[in-house]
Amino acid sequence: MDARQDAPLWEPTPERVAATNLRRFMDEAGRRAGRSFADFATLHHWSIEDRAAFWRLVWDWGRVIGEPGATVLEAGDRMPGARFFPGARLNYAENLLRKRNPGDALVFRGEDKVRRRLSWAELYNQVSRLAQAMKADGIGPGDRVGGIVANMPEAIIGLLAASTIGAVWSSCSPDFGVKGVLDRFGQIEPKLMLAVDGYYYNGKVFDNVDKTREIAAALPSLERTVIVPYVGGRVAADAFPGAIGYAAYTEPHAPRDIEFARLPFGHPLYIMYSSGTTGVPKCIVHGAGGSLLKHIVEQQLHCDLKAGDRLFYFTTCGWMMWNWLVSGLASGATLLLYDGSPFHPSGNALFDFADDERMTHFGTSAKYIDSVLKAGLEPIKTHNLATVRYLSSTGSPLSPEGFDFVYRGIKRDLFMASISGGTDIMGCFVMGDPIGPVWRGEIAAPVLGMAVDVFRDDGRRAADEEKGELVCTRAFPSMPLSFWNDAGDAKYHAAYFERFPNVWCHGDYAARTRHGGFVIYGRSDAVLNPGGVRIGTAEIYRQVEQIPEVLESLVIAQEWQNDVRVVLFVKLREGMKLGDALIQRINRQIRANASPRHVPARIVQVPDIPRTKSGKIVELAVREVVHGRPVKNVEALANPEALRHFRDRPELRT
């Protein structure tokens, strides 16, 4: 474990602690449990020891609209198999559309091209009209509605309209290729699809209608495609057979009170997808009740989200953080939506948005924070950011130096949280603790209601500071309902429960810290193992990212002479070449601050690093390419052409 400073980077004042949702929740939990909770750790222990009481309190605390039923938890020791709120009835959209006033519900920016805002009343009315149109088209409970959509109001309207009926929503971002969409929607067979006419990225316009035509023609289940105007492309009904413009589709229906279908707690809400870089994506089915309660816990208790706050997360509609963001409406928060490149027209785009719209919660990725740092930007000097009180980072482990930069270069008085979870659980395993300190390089705490731990390979609990597998030992409401078309749940069991029986093994390489938090060292299947020593990829990235010449890096284990060796690929600043001097500096940095075992056997320069649509680097895909094996689903990548830079490299033959 890396040495960390003894003093925290940030601590809340007593006044700030007293004003948090979490402190008030602790007081209410104490009244119900007949005891007091002095700190987060004692509350967390109660939340997993008495899960029925905890999750019932979450239902009441979040003022969930619906009937909870008499029972909170059945078969609670089985995973999978446990059932939360088996007698409950609710509707996800009804819980998000509580308001009908003129205040902002959605504020949208499409780079520097489009600016829009919708009030709560306008959002409700537009959902009403689209839901009526869907019903008139024969959409009912359980039918799938697909979206090839930008992060814009119509995406949220589409999701909520489908949810009012009980239809199942599934979305991809519009930069997905034809095969990437068909690999997903071809499995779930949508009856209706919403698709944008195009999108903006880095100042350029991309037309999507021809691609949508090809996708629609390859989906026999599809009965209607609604073209959503965004870039001013073709939206007429004759764009292709079965297509209709969004306005023409909704105009026949006047706004009226929505008839929300109250359905079981486990009724399907979303179908999400694994990254799919090693095969056809798994289709992960999530329920309405579990998703709603999970997000109430994470947003209101861990992020201190309150009614009237203005919540932002930089995401696309193909990443689960978009689904997470949408749930902020259930807390009465305004959603700030941004679509496009965060560096267009300059690296200040998101910080400008924060100042202009009085953002309170700024959500982004570790990659974005590192990019701001590498670009030499210092928002603390150029922007006010007075209203921003919470900053969140996910997508990959945030390095200790990234923590330093947030407080040095963005804002000093800020509750900052690195968070980690996954599409698999529609949320997080570990997050911030708003009433506790922020420790450099650490994720502060396990999420309430989540029995998170670290196991050794033999299934025993690892000691503090000892690396192992991130696990969850007790069932929780946002576990997937199933994988789509997975006979006997065989793939579901293999994905999470094959390693340790009745224990969720997430596939992250992690360790608990002496402060009660966690450090994530990368994906377990990407862990390096030279000479039998396990090394998390994040341990190497942390050191390489401190080299000013290096913009990005990717590390793999190459099979070599009956063992494996560490190979590091680097993308350098424009015009720079990798020479002996730079190689030696990189190696010295790694050797001095990690260990000699971490030093790569080879360092290779490449012009680009391949990433998924959600911005995660793809070590496994590169490992396959290096070994001459096929990558089964390049459509999952944002820049699949980058893989060619890793094939047949002469540097890797000796």
DSSP string over 350-407: HHHHHHHTT-SEEEEEHHHHHHHHHTT--HHHH---TT--EEEEESSPPPHHHHHHII
Whether residue 288 is predicted with pLDDT greater than 60 in this model: the reply is: yes
Tokens representing residue 278 in the block: 């090693």
- Taking the C-alpha atoms of residue 541 and residue 251, their distance in angstroms, rounded to an integer, is 52
Is residue 604 in some structural domain?
yes
CATH code, domain with 604: 3.30.300.30
User: Mean pLDDT in the chain?
Assistant: 94
According to DSSP, the residues that pair with 144 across neighbouring strands are: 168
pLDDT at 5: 60
Is residue 318 in some structural domain?
no
In this prediction, residue 597 has a pLDDT band, given cuts at 50, 70 and 90, of confident
pLDDT at 389: 98
pLDDT at 2: 45
According to DSSP, the residues that pair with 512 across neighbouring strands are: 518
pLDDT at 526: 87
Compute the average pLDDT of residues 368-383.
95
pLDDT at 507: 93
Compute the average pLDDT of residues 195-206.
95
Is residue 427 in some structural domain?
no
Whether residue 3 is predicted with pLDDT greater than 50 in this model: the reply is: no
Q: For the chain, how many structural domains are there in total?
A: 1
Compute the average pLDDT of residues 100-114.
97
Compute the average pLDDT of residues 538-547.
91
Is residue 422 in some structural domain?
no
Least confident of 8-12, 220-224, 275-279, 618-622: 275-279
- Judge if pTM exceeds 0.85: yes
Which tens digits make up the pLDDT trace of 150-166? Answer: 999 999 999 999 999 99
pLDDT at 234: 62
Whether residue 221 is predicted with pLDDT greater than 70 in this model: the reply is: yes
* Alpha carbons within 13 A on the beta-carbon side of 498: 8
- Is the CA virtual torsion 451, 453, 457, 458 positive or negative? negative
Q: Which residue has the higher pLDDT, 397 or 404?
A: 404
The amino acid present at 582, given as its one-letter code, is L
Whether residue 437 is predicted with pLDDT greater than 70 in this model: the reply is: yes
CB atoms near residue 595 (< 10 Å) = 12
Whether residue 278 is predicted with pLDDT greater than 70 in this model: the reply is: no
In this prediction, residue 235 has a pLDDT band, given cuts at 50, 70 and 90, of low
Is residue 564 in some structural domain?
yes
* Alpha carbons within 13 A on the beta-carbon side of 606: 27
pLDDT at 6: 78
Compute the average pLDDT of residues 29-57.
97
Compute the average pLDDT of residues 265-273.
97
Which tens digits make up the pLDDT trace of 513-534? Answer: 999 999 999 989 888 888 777 8
pLDDT at 638: 85
Which tens digits make up the pLDDT trace of 61-101? Answer: 999 999 999 999 999 999 989 999 999 999 999 999 999 99
Compute the average pLDDT of residues 465-488.
96
Whether residue 596 is predicted with pLDDT greater than 70 in this model: the reply is: yes
Tokens representing residue 502 in the block: 């009745």
Alpha-carbon radius of gyration of the chain: 24
The parent domain of residue 585 ranges over 527-652
In this prediction, residue 4 has a pLDDT band, given cuts at 50, 70 and 90, of very low
In this prediction, residue 292 has a pLDDT band, given cuts at 50, 70 and 90, of very high
Is residue 586 in some structural domain?
yes
Whether residue 275 is predicted with pLDDT greater than 50 in this model: the reply is: yes
Is residue 483 in some structural domain?
no
- Taking the C-alpha atoms of residue 216 and residue 117, their distance in angstroms, rounded to an integer, is 30
Is residue 313 in some structural domain?
no
pLDDT at 238: 62
pLDDT at 410: 98
